[in-house]
Structure 1
Amino acid sequence: MRGDNLRLVICIWILFIHRSCFCNFVVEKNSLKVTSPESLRGTYECAIGNFGVPRYGGRLSGLVTYPKTNQNSCKNFTDDIHLISKKPGSIPVFLLADRGECYFTTKAWNAQNTGASAILVADDRPEHLITMDLPEKEETLDYLQNITIPPVLITHSLGVSLKKALESNNLVFVNLDWTEALPHPDDRVEYEFWTNSNDECGPKCDTQIDFVKSFKGFAQLLERKGYTRFTPHYITWFCPEEYVSSTKCKSQCINHGRYCAPDPEQDFSKGYEGKDVVVHNLRQACFYKVANESGKPWLWWDYVADFGARCSMKEHNFTKNCADDVIKSLGLDVKKIDECMGDPEVDAENVVLKGEQEAQIGKKGVRGDVTILPTLVINNRQYRGKLDKKPVVKAICSGFRETTEPDICLSNAIETNECLHNSGECWMDTVANLTACKDTFRGRVCECPIVEGVTFVGDGYKHCEAPRVPRCQVNNGGCWKSTKDSKNYSACIDEYTVGCKCPPGFKGDGINNCEDIDECKENRVCRCPNCKCKNTWGSYECGCNGNLLYLREHGACLSKDANSGSGWGFAWSVVLGVIAIGVVAYTFYKYRVRRYMDSEIRAIMAQYMPLDNEGEVLVFRSHGDI
């Protein structure tokens, strides 16, 4: 079974929406690289399955094995496969299986149970790659959510080549690469979640509800901090005009056949109707619109999770009153949401649902039409794989540009930090504790660091150095520095060459430690009579014992007592000394400097006008004078 029937039905819905279009379903691919044998070495395309756990952002290498019997992997394996070892540390093995005879999921489940790390399904005919999907009657299969190995579909021609190589006893080694499976253009991930409010569609609906509950915390964290931009969407279809008045269209559609959804139980005689699903889809879309306009788009996750728990079809609470109670509990205005929804009985377009129908149709060659529910679209590329928190988190994290991922993507629970071992084989400076290794979700990169605004230059692998700037401005030259009591001290003493020396008032190696010196104990710095010493961090302070005033300029103690003759005598001697110096300076100015300045001024004035005590000056003119 190919799982194509469901897509065909939804494609028919989309054709109703845009009668002139064809269904533009995009098969998401990743690369498969054969490294051995030499004759097959190269890179090939393979299609990502819509179940299991593709390793977005990562790689997986392994040996390929093809069973002698049960070659389509439709039965449980016994001892047919001897290459697969379940011992820790053993080389991963990829099971090569033929397409046909059973569900894709059955093949993957049997391969996983025998210890395979991945399954390569070889197409049974020459054709374009398709997406391996869940079977339509998935409610009969209880193992679907337990499939954890990545399934990929390879072309018929590659399958034939791999089998021939294995028949010739060649060692076939393959590398699956998902690092470019999703685009990662910048430091923000934009993603869409195509969903619906129906909770009566079996295990798929149950999986969707569980996913919303488990994923909402991560989604809200990234949304609040601006790392992501999330938008929910809802698929609808419409009835052709000639069937609008039919009973089925009336029970499944609103706005006179314009927006429809399938009957939840696929039974028109009982339970809720398709139009109930459309109305609640519209309410959820309007909730997001109002929450987004209020600056809190992340509330959508709370609403959908609470609505699923409190207003389920199974409990017969799938009503407007229940939905309004949830809306009020989250602090949004019910009236604004009702205004956004409009009247579902009117014979007119609904702005919100019309936009949803237009969004379903992907631009050719970019995203493709959304035909599978539920579907995640990350950075305009459809996610393939199990709808579960951990693989979806990895997929979103792979959508960030390298070195811009939020810390949560680099946690031990998500990926391994390759910079922890030998600095990832990148350049490092052990003295200054610097490294060019930067951990990213898709692996480490060697990139010269930026330290305190200074960008180092070099290849990042063997060499990095700061540009010609004072060495102490970059990580303090790898030397000790500390701040205490608003005082800053540094052991970096040379701007351009390596050197660390504790500053005056400290002792130590200058790199890891500088300890304060107690000058009061070691140097006896305050030596005047009646002086006392107080040690401070990096320095000291001198003072006086008893009722004495310390004069820093003179290094002496002066009594504060007015009756102390010696104290006042010293003070008067200082005052009289200052006065004497002033008198001498004034006398010098008056009799020497002033006299000199007067003579100079008189000489200058004599050049321009006769003075009273001088005779007339004769002036002789030449023939050239006027």
Structure 2
Amino acid sequence: MELRTFHHHLLQGFMLLSFISNCCARFVVEKNSLTVTSPEKIKGTHDSAIGNFGIPQYGGSMAGVVVYPKENQKACKSFGDFGISFKSKPGSLPTFVLVDRGDCFFALKVWNVQQAGASAVLVADDIEEALITMDNPEEDSSSAKYIENITIPSALIEKTFGETLKKAISGGDMVNVNLDWREAVPHPDDRVEYELWTNSNDECGVKCDMLMAFVKDFKGAAQILEKGGYTQFTPHYITWYCPQAFTLSRQCKSQCINRGRYCAPDPEQDFSSGYEGKDVVIENLRQLCVFKVANETNRPWVWWDYVTDFQIRCPMKEKKYNKECADVVIKSLGLDAKKIEKCMGDPDADMENPVLKEEQDAQVGKGSRGDVTILPTLVVNNRQYRGKLAKGAVLKAICAGFEETTEPAVCLSGDVETNECLENNGGCWQDKAANLTACRDTFRGRVCECPLVDGVQFKGDGYSHCEPGGPGRCKINNGGCWHESQNGSAYSACLDNGDVKCQCPPGFKGDGVKSCEDIDECKEKRACQCPECSCKNTWGSYECTCNGDLLYIRDHDTCISKSGTEVRSAWAAMSVILIGLAMAGGGAYLVYKYRLRSYMDSEIRAIMAQYMPLDSQGEVPNHVSNDRA
């Protein structure tokens, strides 16, 4: 081994050991439950450790039949060499293959079983110990090919439990089990908090390539979740510190900033060429500050844009992994470069950097979460994710963190699952005529729940019946009343006056529920009664027309001339009335004039008689009052 390589590994070992000793490192094994449902004699629930590869069914469960192969029991060779297939027959339960630990990598065992057609793998431990996490092997070109393509879930079980399963199978029992991941991620509310422990280094081999591919692929879904307020995402970056005795060494100076306080491995594992570990620490710090500044402007999702753009525009291979290229990306995203620089501080200062100090503190496990020591690491609701770092698998784990039935639409996309309501309506109530269903697809499966449509809440069990209730029911399938359309006209018998009832509309007769028949207004002589009118019945109404060039006035049930010169019917009657009124007025005026004249004549005669009595009249009474008796 070359001396520089020895020094490199020695330094990394010191940094990791110092981190562990100071933080009381604690690795937490993430578990799911495995329940034996038959045979009766071994029924019960046991813990199993989720494999750190493949695709665990977060939020769901899987039932299957356990088989233990008679050959290749450690699954280190291809089962095809032994003529063995675990593919389930149509209509039968999936096959779970039980294999023994030892002789080869866990991931290789799972890959060989997957290639033989199994749906899941149980690995029985070979020693009595607490459960451990089955991890990926150190990636090389040969293992990377199959690790990337493992899609079935796997779990490690304790030796004693494995022996119990083997004994039951060898005794001829059919062993049915249920793998359950529903509680693997807590789901207390309608928001998920998750964090990704990542790295800006793009020259660390297979793991870096996998991480870069994931970030680019997951960016869209992550931004949808953030913009909708469904999640709270936080990026993190692992750093180590250099032991005090080595702070002045060449290795520490090239891999650390702030006098050995924050370090990262050399990207090329060569101290004499290429980029240095401190370059990675500085870019990690910049990406943390990008997130902080974007978060201050309520745009935390911009972090995903910066990281993906930086990977594309500023790669190490093209010698663009530097501040100048980063500044161009920052400017293109409309971020405040001065605030980011201020956040980063001075990497040469002999003092703590508050941003990176916070990151080192966050690496320490809290509560149910263990220490973060592996890159990349995903943490969902304070539980470390186990499985393939791929969009669909990670999205499934995040969606499992939502409280049931609160998952956003992205959790029901094709990346996560199929829609269970599409087949036989999920077995729920439906009204095909109104295109209504009680089936609602959720991340954990379909729910039969009476719907809320246009403000109208349907009530019922959701399985056999749902009925609309409350005001506005006429909007939904006409409140169950009769309705029909003909020739562009539509009528409904639903009447909503606070209490819905079925009553045939004007122009119809019937019970209003099953039927309403058109009334022939013409036959029943309800319309068009004027002499010049002719009546034609229509569906739900009628039409009146007039003879010749006359115009029908529906409000008065009469016809008038279109030119207005000829008066008919009501106009003639109105003329008679007007003439009558005029004559009555004239007569009244003549009577008034006659009485007035008579009165005037008598007064004049009385006055004249006082002075010159007429021969034809007697003595006229004196109209002057007299005060004497």
Tell me which interval the TM-score lies in, with the shorter structure as reference length: 0.7 to 0.9
Q: Which residue of 2 aligns with 1:418?
A: 420
CA RMSD of aligned residues (A): 4.3
- Asked if the contact 2:456–2:473 (Cα under 8 Å) also holds between the matched residues in 1, the reply is no
Partners of 2:231 and 2:581 lie apart in 1 by: 75
Q: Deviations over 1:212-250 (max 9, x none)?
A: 122212222222223322221111122233322222121
Is structure 2 residue 335 aligned with structure 1 residue 332?
Answer: yes
- Asked if the contact 2:247–2:253 (Cα under 8 Å) also holds between the matched residues in 1, the reply is yes
Q: Deviations over 1:500-531 (max 9, x none)?
A: 67633579998999999999999995554677
Is structure 2 residue 254 aligned with structure 1 residue 240?
Answer: no
Larger Rg: 2
Identify if the C-alpha distance between structure 1 residues 105 and 82 changes in structure 2 by more than 3 Å, giving closer, same or farther. closer
Partners of 2:415 and 2:509 lie apart in 1 by: 44
The aligned runs of 1:248-397 (5 Å cut-off) are 248-364=251-367, 366-397=368-399
Q: Which residue of 1 aligns with 2:44?
A: 42
Q: Which residue of 2 aligns with 1:587?
A: none
Secondary structure at the residue paired with 1:146? Answer: coil
Q: Which residue of 1 aligns with 2:154?
A: 151
Q: Which residue of 2 aligns with 1:445?
A: 447
Q: Deviations over 1:20-45 (max 9, x none)?
A: 43112221111111122221111111
Structure 1 residue runs of 5 or longer lacking an equivalent are 1-7, 583-626
Q: Deviations over 1:531-553 (max 9, x none)?
A: 79999997678798999887554
The aligned runs of 1:53-72 (5 Å cut-off) are 53-72=55-74
Tell me which moved more, 264-273 or 540-549: 540-549
- Asked if the contact 1:11–1:371 (Cα under 8 Å) also holds between the matched residues in 2, the reply is no
Partners of 1:95 and 1:245 lie apart in 2 by: 54
TM-score normalized by structure 2? 0.78
How far does residue 154 in structure 1 lie from its aligned partner after superposition?
Answer: 0.7
How far does residue 130 in structure 1 lie from its aligned partner after superposition?
Answer: 1.2
The equivalent position to 2:212 in structure 1, one of 205, 209, 225, is: 209
Q: Deviations over 1:441-477 (max 9, x none)?
A: 1112333444554555555455655668796576642
- Asked if the contact 2:15–2:243 (Cα under 8 Å) also holds between the matched residues in 1, the reply is no
Aligned amino acid, residue 272 of structure 2: S
Is structure 2 residue 194 aligned with structure 1 residue 173?
Answer: no
How far does residue 394 in structure 1 lie from its aligned partner after superposition?
Answer: 2.0
Partners of 2:70 and 2:515 lie apart in 1 by: 69
Partners of 2:280 and 2:469 lie apart in 1 by: 63
Partners of 1:493 and 1:461 lie apart in 2 by: 28
Q: Which residue of 2 aligns with 1:586?
A: none
Tell me which moved more, 371-380 or 555-564: 555-564
The aligned runs of 1:96-107 (5 Å cut-off) are 96-107=98-109
Secondary structure at the residue paired with 1:439? Answer: strand
- Asked if the contact 1:432–1:479 (Cα under 8 Å) also holds between the matched residues in 2, the reply is no
Partners of 1:16 and 1:581 lie apart in 2 by: 124
How far does residue 202 in structure 1 lie from its aligned partner after superposition?
Answer: 0.6
Partners of 1:421 and 1:439 lie apart in 2 by: 11
Identify if the C-alpha distance between structure 1 residues 21 and 578 changes in structure 2 by more than 3 Å, giving closer, same or farther. farther
Tell me which moved more, 25-34 or 420-429: 420-429
The equivalent position to 1:116 in structure 2, one of 118, 124, 140, is: 118
Aligned amino acid, residue 493 of structure 2: A
Partners of 2:484 and 2:104 lie apart in 1 by: 70
Q: Deviations over 1:57-79 (max 9, x none)?
A: 22222222222333221222246
The aligned runs of 1:14-25 (5 Å cut-off) are 16=18, 20-25=22-27
Aligned amino acid, residue 107 of structure 1: K
Secondary structure at the residue paired with 2:66? Answer: strand
- Asked if the contact 1:30–1:177 (Cα under 8 Å) also holds between the matched residues in 2, the reply is yes
Q: Deviations over 1:397-443 (max 9, x none)?
A: 22222222223322455323333344433455667665443321111
Tell me which moved more, 124-133 or 490-499: 490-499
Identify if the C-alpha distance between structure 1 residues 561 and 457 changes in structure 2 by more than 3 Å, giving closer, same or farther. closer
Partners of 2:548 and 2:513 lie apart in 1 by: 42
How far does residue 288 in structure 1 lie from its aligned partner after superposition?
Answer: 1.7
Q: Which residue of 1 aligns with 2:95?
A: 93
- Asked if the contact 1:48–1:153 (Cα under 8 Å) also holds between the matched residues in 2, the reply is yes
Partners of 1:263 and 1:581 lie apart in 2 by: 121
Partners of 1:263 and 1:338 lie apart in 2 by: 24
Structure 2 residue runs of 5 or longer lacking an equivalent are 1-9, 586-629
Identify if the C-alpha distance between structure 1 residues 552 and 101 changes in structure 2 by more than 3 Å, giving closer, same or farther. same
Secondary structure at the residue paired with 2:76? Answer: coil
How far does residue 296 in structure 1 lie from its aligned partner after superposition?
Answer: 2.4
Partners of 2:294 and 2:284 lie apart in 1 by: 15
**Identity within the alignment, %:** 63
Partners of 2:511 and 2:14 lie apart in 1 by: 78
Aligned amino acid, residue 259 of structure 1: Y
- Asked if the contact 1:207–1:387 (Cα under 8 Å) also holds between the matched residues in 2, the reply is yes
How far does residue 207 in structure 1 lie from its aligned partner after superposition?
Answer: 0.8
Q: Which residue of 2 aligns with 1:596?
A: none
Identify if the C-alpha distance between structure 1 residues 253 and 498 changes in structure 2 by more than 3 Å, giving closer, same or farther. same
- Asked if the contact 2:79–2:85 (Cα under 8 Å) also holds between the matched residues in 1, the reply is no
Identify if the C-alpha distance between structure 1 residues 253 and 467 changes in structure 2 by more than 3 Å, giving closer, same or farther. same
- Asked if the contact 1:64–1:93 (Cα under 8 Å) also holds between the matched residues in 2, the reply is yes
Secondary structure at the residue paired with 1:143? Answer: helix
How far does residue 196 in structure 1 lie from its aligned partner after superposition?
Answer: 0.7
Q: Which residue of 1 aligns with 2:228?
A: 225
Aligned amino acid, residue 178 of structure 1: W
Partners of 1:376 and 1:316 lie apart in 2 by: 29
Count residues in correspondence.
572
Partners of 1:309 and 1:534 lie apart in 2 by: 77
Identify if the C-alpha distance between structure 1 residues 170 and 479 changes in structure 2 by more than 3 Å, giving closer, same or farther. same
Partners of 1:50 and 1:515 lie apart in 2 by: 71
Q: Which residue of 2 aligns with 1:598?
A: none
Secondary structure at the residue paired with 1:169? Answer: coil
Q: Which residue of 2 aligns with 1:129?
A: 131
Tell me which moved more, 26-35 or 77-86: 77-86
Q: Deviations over 1:250-300 (max 9, x none)?
A: 111112222211111222122111111111111111112222222322222
Partners of 1:467 and 1:557 lie apart in 2 by: 49
Partners of 2:136 and 2:460 lie apart in 1 by: 50
How far does residue 203 in structure 1 lie from its aligned partner after superposition?
Answer: 0.9
Identify if the C-alpha distance between structure 1 residues 308 and 83 changes in structure 2 by more than 3 Å, giving closer, same or farther. closer
How far does residue 345 in structure 1 lie from its aligned partner after superposition?
Answer: 1.6
Partners of 1:517 and 1:374 lie apart in 2 by: 77
Is structure 2 residue 164 aligned with structure 1 residue 161?
Answer: yes
Aligned amino acid, residue 418 of structure 2: T
